[in-house]
Amino acid sequence: MVSTMQPQVMRAAGIESGYGRVQVLWGAGLDVRAKESVVLLGANGAGKSTLLKVIVGLMPAWKGSVQLDPDDVTSWRTDKRFRRGMAYMSEIGVFTGLSIDENLRVGGQFIEKAALRIRMEELYAYFPDLAHRRGALAGSLSGGQRKMLGMAKALASSPRLLVMDEPSAGLSPLFVGQVIDVLKKFRESGLAMLIAEQNIAFLDLADRVFTLEGGRIRFEGSVTELEADDSLHKAYFGLA
Ligand code: ATP
């Protein structure tokens, strides 16, 4: 468990946003502290992807603010946020028409070339399956391998905050377990993570949990506190 005394890496507050005239987020906010992994739980359509896109700058905040310590980045473009230490893995995660090596270079485009070379070798050591096939097209990889490449690509810039949208999407339970194991290793290395998920297996990684319902944060606390709340327990863990 990460101490509450850790400095804050990112805080989104009072976020309102949506598509066209359709409002999806109604004052949602959350924060991530250094070395902490935060899981954002919510059903399909709750607004998790939208909130993450506002945090990384792929969608505008109609209202509210995003702070990436020490800056207010609300009006910053995505690339500037990435240069300051954010990284983002979308549900798709990779460029299928590029090779494994090229995907990592895209992921690390904002860091210095020599640092990227070292970082890529570190990542290939973490992901040996990818190291053996550096020139292979990402599109030729299995779903599980693509997800590993998606994580490696997002990590290529040595971020201080990794933002992930449903890393379990499209994966069998076996691969979901492998993704969680890899993320545990990065968590141990001190990386701060924000993971949007509806798969409660990811709670294994969570120092703190937020739940999102109808574009609003309903709960913030530990996994133990989430489990202790009857209605949330029913909503997220079923009746069993
Ligand atoms: P999921 O797990 O299905 O991705 P989510 O919690 O990430 O769900 P969002 O993808 O943020 O939810 O979607 C929130 C709401 O916004 C949904 O009602 C969805 O239909 C709507 N929405 C998402 N993308 C668009 C879009 N490009 N244009 C219009 N409405 C959209």
Q: What is the pLDDT of residues 145-154, one digit of tens each?
A: 899 999 999 9
In this prediction, residues 214-239 reach a mean pLDDT of: 86
Tell whether ligand 1 has an atom less than 6 A from the beta carbon of residue 159: no
Across the chain, what does the average pLDDT equal? 92
Q: Which two tokens stand for residue 235?
A: 């909503």
Q: Which of 71, 90, 1, 80 is nearest to 38 (CA)?
A: 1
**How big is the CA angle at 184 (ends 47 and 164), to the nearest 5 degrees?**
25
Ligand 1 centroid – CA 166 distance (Å): 13
Q: Which two tokens stand for residue 116?
A: 């990227």
Which whole-number Å values give the CA distances from 14 to 28, 30, 50, in the listed order?
Answer: 5, 9, 14
Kindly tell me if the per-residue pLDDT of 2 is higher than 80. no
pTM reported for the whole predicted model:
0.92
Tell whether ligand 1 has an atom less than 6 A from the beta carbon of residue 92: no
- CA distance linking residue 9 with residue 161, whole number of Å: 7
Q: Are 15 and 61 contacting, i.e. CB atoms less than 8 angstroms apart?
A: yes
Question: In sequence order, what are the beta bridge partners of 31?
Answer: 11
Kindly tell me if the per-residue pLDDT of 4 is higher than 90. no
- What's residue 239's pLDDT? 47
Q: Which of 193, 192, 202 is nearest to 226 (CA)?
A: 202
Q: Which of 178, 168, 176 is nearest to 198 (CA)?
A: 168
CATH class of the domain at 1-78+193-240 = alpha beta
In this prediction, residues 95-122 reach a mean pLDDT of: 94
Tell whether ligand 1 has an atom less than 6 A from the beta carbon of residue 45: yes
Tell whether ligand 1 has an atom less than 6 A from the beta carbon of residue 15: no
- CA distance linking residue 51 with residue 45, whole number of Å: 11
Tell whether ligand 1 has an atom less than 6 A from the beta carbon of residue 21: no
Which residue bears the tokens 């893995």? 89
- What's residue 240's pLDDT? 41
3-class secondary-structure state, position 92: coil
Tell whether ligand 1 has an atom less than 6 A from the beta carbon of residue 199: no
Ligand 1 centroid – CA 151 distance (Å): 22
The answer, yes or no, to whether the previous bond of 70 is cis (omega within 30 of 0) is yes
What are the tens digits of pLDDT across the range 173-193? 888 998 999 999 999 989 999
- What's residue 237's pLDDT? 77
Question: Residue 5's pLDDT band (boundaries 50, 70, 90)?
Answer: confident
In this prediction, residues 147-172 reach a mean pLDDT of: 92
Phi, psi of 41 (to 5 degrees): -95, 145
What angle in degrees, to the nearest 10, is found between the helix axes of 100-107 and 113-126?
A: 130
Minimum CA distance residue for ligand 1 atom 25: 19
What are the tens digits of pLDDT across the range 47-104? 999 999 999 999 999 999 999 999 999 999 999 999 999 999 988 889 999 999 999 9
Question: Residue 144's pLDDT band (boundaries 50, 70, 90)?
Answer: confident
- CA distance linking residue 105 with residue 117, whole number of Å: 9
